[in-house]
Structure 1
Amino acid sequence: MSEAFYTDKAKVRAAFERAAHSYDGAAVLQREVSDRMAERLDVIKNAPLMILDAGSGTGYGAAELRRRYPAARVIELDIAASMLKASKAKQQEGAGFFGRLMGRAQPWQACADIEALPLADASVDMVWSNLAIQWLNEPDGVFAEFRRVLKPDGLLMFSTLGPDTLFELRAAFAGQDSATHVNHFIDMHDLGDVLVRNGFALPVMDMEKIVLTYGRVRDVMQDLKSIGAHNVTAGRKAGLTGKHFWQRVEAAYEAYRRDGSLPATYEVVYGHAWRGEPKAKAGHLPDGRQVIEFKKS
């Protein structure tokens, strides 16, 4: 990925901090993808007792995980504290007075970076991550962290965005200036390679395209802003863009209008894999210790 398209993590955090109050009203895609991820759990025989929701947002996925695995402890982790506060408020509201009194509305939460998880090695049975890792520039670090905190034979299940995401918006911006306006995302096959490289076994990857429709280009941009997903690339334009610039972008986007609506296409990539055990080198045990044989003379 070109460095011009690298995301600024501080700006990612700030964007999601600001978006917490508007997130649930605009996160249609995030909820739909979370539901489709959960359906995939139906065919996976797994009974986790400790689950990490990495990039938990306002808690939609965590709520489904608690419903599906009532005996499990779900740890909500997000880079934005305001997202975690919004999730906690919803849980407390749903628990009612007696639930709060008994402490049932006190979720386990951590405000942290998914590339530096504040968890012990081999401490969770499942890592669940819905539409979070697309904000990272290099996936090796986060997959290494996911593997580190997973127990042996633990499950990683994630979704992210592929390179065809928002291609209409990217094309509308193309040629208007030299700045970057739309984030770039990593190809599904490359992600599969990264999983194997970082010690995951039996990776399964698939992809589908989900198209949301809008009345105006500004509605597309407003939705992205409401969920904290607007442009945070290093090559973004500094300062404001002018009226004529936006008129040209809108005119270019209008070429995609069909049946009275403007499409916004999302290439959604799903993946799951199991924590594999490192292969022992010849003459070594799996933990790296050398085997020394003594032969009788």
Structure 2
Amino acid sequence: MNICNINKKHVILQFERRNLSNSKFLYEEIANRLAMRLKYVKINPKYILDVGCNAANNFSLLNTMFSKSSYIGLDFCKKSIERAHKIINNIDKRYFIFNFFKNIPKIQHKLILSDMASTNIENEYIDLIWSNMALHWHDNIQEVFEEWYRILKTEGIINFSCFGTNTIKELHKAIKEANIKTSYMIFNDIHTIGDTLNKSGFANIVMSQETLTFTYENPERLLKDVQGIGGNPMYNRHNGLLGKEKLRLIYESLNNQKNQSNLIPLTINIIYGYACKSKTINNSVTHKINFIS
């Protein structure tokens, strides 16, 4: 379903408590793969919107790809925006020192504290919407896509990544086997996301996905890494710490899932989406969706 029971306040709290440093490799790797999808696309954006920018993690990557573009970072976590300000200011200082005598203009940027489904950006203002591993933290992707459609210029492009259905399925299994009464995130599948893009008016939709598998010698390290990618922001999540017995049962279930190499697997399902705003604006038209396996 497009709507899930995510508590947005919990999402903000999760990202206030961590800066994703423990999962930096994963997010950077996905960002690089996301960038490859634009390699052969002819686009010279004036304004790029980085949705869910966190600490401006993709600022340098996007500036390298589109050096003449103005960067707009958007996030609904105040501490993330504060971190982004510091990082971009440091980049600006280095940029100024090395390029002052070359008469190269300063990188134009702006940071917005806002929900991704309510950006307060004017209609048809953005040329490229980029969102790396942020969409799954929103409770209503249809509202997000409708907002992206509104602010995107005709022939503008969206390019995003997010977690898919099978992400951390091993932990979900362990929670069930430990009989822990809690809600946890069920991520959208690739067809739901593609269909929602279509309903929101986008054209030339291309959806693909891949599965990454990480392995761990022990369940403690696995749980630490899962916490590092964002935690559990659901309304009906288990409150407080788990008791020793419940934690033992989770460890037992995870250890029982070890592979032939005696390692615990952790599945990360990544979905990639690409679409554009067609010249022919007609939301009643059903566009073909290309699903690439």
Same fold (TM over 0.5): yes
Secondary structure at the aligned position of 1:115 is classed as coil
Q: Where does residue 239 of structure 1 map in the other structure?
A: 240
Mapping for residues 74-223 of structure 1, pairs under 5 Å = 74-96=71-93, 99=96, 104=106, 107-177=109-179, 179-180=181-182, 182-223=184-225
Q: Give the AA of the match of 1:120.
A: E
Q: How far is 1:275 from its partner? A: 1.0
Q: How far is 1:221 from its partner? A: 2.2
Mapping for residues 58-69 of structure 1, pairs under 5 Å = 58-69=55-66
With the length of structure 1 as denominator, give the TM-score of the two structures. Answer: 0.86
The CA distance in 1 between the partners of 2:157 and 2:283, in whole Å, is: 22
Looking at CA atoms only, which structure, 1 or 2, has the larger radius of gyration? 1
Q: Where does residue 281 of structure 2 map in the other structure?
A: 278
Q: Where does residue 250 of structure 1 map in the other structure?
A: 251
Secondary structure at the aligned position of 2:38 is classed as helix
Q: Where does residue 70 of structure 1 map in the other structure?
A: 67
Whether the 8 Å contact between 1:256 and 1:263 is mirrored in structure 2 is yes
Distance 1:226 1:267, change over 3 A: closer
Whether the 8 Å contact between 1:192 and 1:203 is mirrored in structure 2 is yes
Identity %: 26
Distance 1:275 1:256, change over 3 A: same
Whether the 8 Å contact between 2:162 and 2:271 is mirrored in structure 1 is yes
Whether the 8 Å contact between 1:126 and 1:155 is mirrored in structure 2 is yes
The CA distance in 1 between the partners of 2:27 and 2:125, in whole Å, is: 27
Q: Give the AA of the match of 1:74.
A: Y
Q: Where does residue 293 of structure 1 map in the other structure?
A: none
Whether the 8 Å contact between 2:201 and 2:277 is mirrored in structure 1 is yes
| 213-222 or 262-271: bigger deviation | 213-222
Q: How far is 1:215 from its partner? A: 3.0
Superposition misfits of 4+ residues, deviation over 3 angstroms: 94-98, 102-107
2:31 corresponds to 1:31: no
The CA distance in 2 between the partners of 1:121 and 1:208, in whole Å, is: 34
The CA distance in 2 between the partners of 1:190 and 1:125, in whole Å, is: 25
Q: Give the AA of the match of 1:14.
A: L
The CA distance in 1 between the partners of 2:180 and 2:8, in whole Å, is: 22
Q: Where does residue 288 of structure 1 map in the other structure?
A: none
Count of residue pairs brought into register by the alignment? 277
| RMSD, matched Cα | 2.4
Q: Give the AA of the match of 1:11.
A: H
Q: How far is 1:105 from its partner? A: 7.2
Q: Give the AA of the match of 1:254.
A: N
